[in-house]
Structure 1
Amino acid sequence: MTITQLKYVLAVAEHKNFTKAAEKTFVTQPTLSMQIQKLEEELDILIFDRSKKPIELTEVGSKLVMQARNIVNESERIQDIVDQQKGFIGGEFKIGVIPTVMPTLLPMFLNNFIKKFPKVKLKIEELHTEAIMERLKDGHLDAAIAATPLENENIKERVLFYEPFVGYIPPNHRLHKKDKIEVADLDIDDMLLLEDGHCFKDGIINLCKTSKSYEDDHFQLESGSFETLIKLSNEGLGMTLLPYLHTLDIRQEEKQNLRFFTEPSPAREVSLIFSKSELKMQIIDALHSTIAGVVRGAIAFQNVEIISPILKAKSD
């Protein structure tokens, strides 16, 4: 049994196709098939049910894949130990970032990080939280930046910053004349929200539940971007909530529509998350220190109340 054979098994389990798995592992399909067959013969089991389309894992194959993932991760830790001993911070690092963080946070730290750690090759992908969790589990991401806490026992979370919610309230709105708003002022019926899949939307729903009832059919208008929400709000279609960093980039004339909450300000917790296997920790540490250092200067809020991004079930 070899580490290479286990990597081939993991590739087939993911892609459910020998040809695609071979392409992803940069070998010919006959080579991959032969190595998996050798492993099956050695163990005297069938890992895959080849009669199914797409290919499926057998019952014992599913258990084997779980263990194979652990073994492959542990084998990669050996290189980690060597890199850390040498003080080497470099190599490919795959990171996912949620859409509501990507456009504001990336320009703040990326150039600084690249200059400081030129040997690290960052591969950055914009993904929703659900996809991030799946890819972390499968080992296709080394880390991610997401709203937390996520209450998942398989990942670790290191807080980067706390980002307050800020109201964007147009002149014709009932709350526009208020200097500061309160959570109790919010009404889900006149609020513009991001579309499904954004954890920022789920955070707002959880925030509003603290004082108002919520029904799915209240939402009439949803969008995929904060820019669109601001434009719709300017048209008098309702108010919206923005993450604080996003408010730094809006037009000067639109800033008069911003309203902060009374303290403690509702806020989201944004963290660097990674698998409990803790691979490539030297790069994770470098990312954390760089991002936290940059954002610390942009967000001065201290008295905040963290709103969970996990959408809670409706109470009776």
Structure 2
Amino acid sequence: MTITQLQYVLAVAEHKNFTLAAEKSFVTQPTLSMQIQKLEEELDVLIFDRSKKPIQLTDVGEQIVEQAKNIVNESGRIKDIVEQQKGYIGGDFKVGIIPTIMPTLLPMFMNNFIKKYPKVNLIIEERTTEEIIRMVKSGQLDAAIAATPLNEDTIKEIVLYYEPFVAYVPENIAAFNKKEFDVKDLEANLNSVLLLQDGHCFRHNILNLCKAKGMDADSHFQIESGSFETLVKLVNEGLGMTLLPYLHTLDMNEKSKEKLRYFKDPKPSREVSLIYSKKDLKLHMIEALRNSITGVIKGAIAFQDVAITSPLERTKKRG
């Protein structure tokens, strides 16, 4: 049994296809298949049920995969220990970022990080909060950037910044005439609020904000979308108002900025953190990433008096 064989097993378990798993593992499909077959012969069990499409794990295969994840992850930590001892910052570093943060934050720090740490192969993946939690726990991601707190015992959270919510209001809604926005203004306009679709933690931030003020918000939202860009366009057409993360408003043109309304203090906000497994040893890379982000974000967000809302769905364990 070898680490390489276990890596091939994990690749097939993830992609449910030998050809795709071989491509992602940078080997030929016959090589990957042969190594997995050798492992199955050694163990005298079938790890995969090849008669099903897509390929499925057998019952014993599921147990083997869970143990293989631990073995492969722990073997990789030997190299991490040596590199950290030498102060070397380099190699692959896989980072997940949720969709409502990635478009605004990534361009702010990416170039500076690459220039400062040229030996790091920074691999960025856009993932949902659910995917990030699972992949950080399994070792598929070295770190991630997400809205917190996540209330996960095995995950460490380092707060990067607090990002206020900003109302984006069309001229045909009375709240447009207000200089400052109040959470109570949401209650008066619940039927006009446009929201992201389910699956985005920013949606749960807003729903939890409403619920914290005693508003029954779940049944009021009539129009939902998968992106902030679409929500902004709908507001521009006068179809309702929406809430945006502060960083998303920085690149708006002057005409659009006239529709922005900032909340009174304490401003409802989301907490954005760098998260990683408590067992992770790539702390030198994690610290380098944290420094790169906090170095640029301080000049962009200067708000101090904020009130944090949860990104977790109240009716379930998490959103």
TM normalised by structure 2 equals 0.89
Q: Is the 8 A contact 2:46 2:58 kept in 1?
A: yes
Q: In structure 2, how many angstroms separate the alpha carbons of the residues matched to 1:116 and 1:227?
A: 32
Q: Is the 8 A contact 1:156 1:275 kept in 2?
A: yes
Q: In structure 2, how many angstroms separate the alpha carbons of the residues matched to 1:295 and 1:182?
A: 26
* Corresponding letter in the other structure for 2:256: E
Q: In structure 2, how many angstroms separate the alpha carbons of the residues matched to 1:233 and 1:250?
A: 14
Structure 1 spans left out of the alignment, 5+ residues: none
The residue aligned with 1:87 is 87
Note if 1:124 corresponds to 2:124.
Answer: yes
- Please list the CA deviations of residues 120-150 of structure 1 after superposition, one character each: whole Å capped at 9, or x if unmatched: 1222233332333344345443222111122
Q: Aligned ranges for residues 201-212 of structure 1 at < 5 Å?
A: 201-210=203-212, 211-212=214-215
Q: Is the 8 A contact 2:149 2:311 kept in 1?
A: yes
- Please list the CA deviations of residues 190-227 of structure 1 after superposition, one character each: whole Å capped at 9, or x if unmatched: 111223332212211111122311334x3322233333
Q: In structure 2, how many angstroms separate the alpha carbons of the residues matched to 1:30 and 1:172?
A: 64
Q: Is the 8 A contact 1:166 1:261 kept in 2?
A: yes
The residue aligned with 2:237 is 235
Identical residues among aligned pairs (%): 67
The residue aligned with 1:256 is 258
Note if 1:173 corresponds to 2:176.
Answer: no
Q: Is the 8 A contact 1:89 1:120 kept in 2?
A: yes
Runs of 4+ in 1 over 6 A off after TM superposition: none
Of 86-95 and 18-27, more deviation after overlay is shown by 18-27
The residue aligned with 1:15 is 15
Q: 1:286 aligns with which of 277, 285, 288?
A: 288
The residue aligned with 2:159 is 159
Q: Aligned ranges for residues 292-311 of structure 1 at < 5 Å?
A: 292-311=294-313
Q: In structure 1, how many angstroms separate the alpha carbons of the residues matched to 2:48 and 2:114?
A: 43
Distance 1:112 1:26, change over 3 A: closer
What SS does the aligned partner of 1:175 have?
helix
Q: In structure 2, how many angstroms separate the alpha carbons of the residues matched to 1:276 and 1:244?
A: 30
Q: Is the 8 A contact 1:73 1:277 kept in 2?
A: no
- Please list the CA deviations of residues 231-270 of structure 1 after superposition, one character each: whole Å capped at 9, or x if unmatched: 3223322221111112222122333332222222110011
Q: Is the 8 A contact 1:195 1:222 kept in 2?
A: yes
Q: In structure 2, how many angstroms separate the alpha carbons of the residues matched to 1:2 and 1:46?
A: 17
Of 84-93 and 68-77, more deviation after overlay is shown by 84-93
* Corresponding letter in the other structure for 2:101: V
* Corresponding letter in the other structure for 1:220: Q
The residue aligned with 1:265 is 267
- Please list the CA deviations of residues 53-100 of structure 1 after superposition, one character each: whole Å capped at 9, or x if unmatched: 333222222122111101111111111111112211112222222222
TM normalised by structure 1 equals 0.90
Q: Is the 8 A contact 1:148 1:270 kept in 2?
A: yes
* Corresponding letter in the other structure for 2:216: S
**What number of residue pairs does the alignment pair up?**
313
The residue aligned with 1:214 is 217
Q: Is the 8 A contact 2:207 2:218 kept in 1?
A: no
What SS does the aligned partner of 1:240 have?
strand
What SS does the aligned partner of 2:173 have?
coil
Q: 2:194 aligns with which of 186, 192, 195?
A: 192
* Corresponding letter in the other structure for 1:229: L
- Please list the CA deviations of residues 144-169 of structure 1 after superposition, one character each: whole Å capped at 9, or x if unmatched: 21111222344322211110111122
Q: In structure 2, how many angstroms separate the alpha carbons of the residues matched to 1:112 and 1:139?
A: 26
- Report the CA distance between 1:50 and its aligned residue: 3.2
- Report the CA distance between 1:3 and its aligned residue: 1.0
Note if 1:64 corresponds to 2:60.
Answer: no
Q: In structure 2, how many angstroms separate the alpha carbons of the residues matched to 1:48 and 1:15?
A: 12
* Corresponding letter in the other structure for 1:235: E
* Corresponding letter in the other structure for 2:217: Y
Q: In structure 1, how many angstroms separate the alpha carbons of the residues matched to 2:240 and 2:16?
A: 46
- Report the CA distance between 1:279 and its aligned residue: 4.3
Q: Is the 8 A contact 1:164 1:304 kept in 2?
A: yes
Q: In structure 1, how many angstroms separate the alpha carbons of the residues matched to 2:10 and 2:240?
A: 49
Distance 1:204 1:51, change over 3 A: same
- Please list the CA deviations of residues 166-197 of structure 1 after superposition, one character each: whole Å capped at 9, or x if unmatched: 11223332222333222222133111122333
Structure 2 spans left out of the alignment, 5+ residues: none
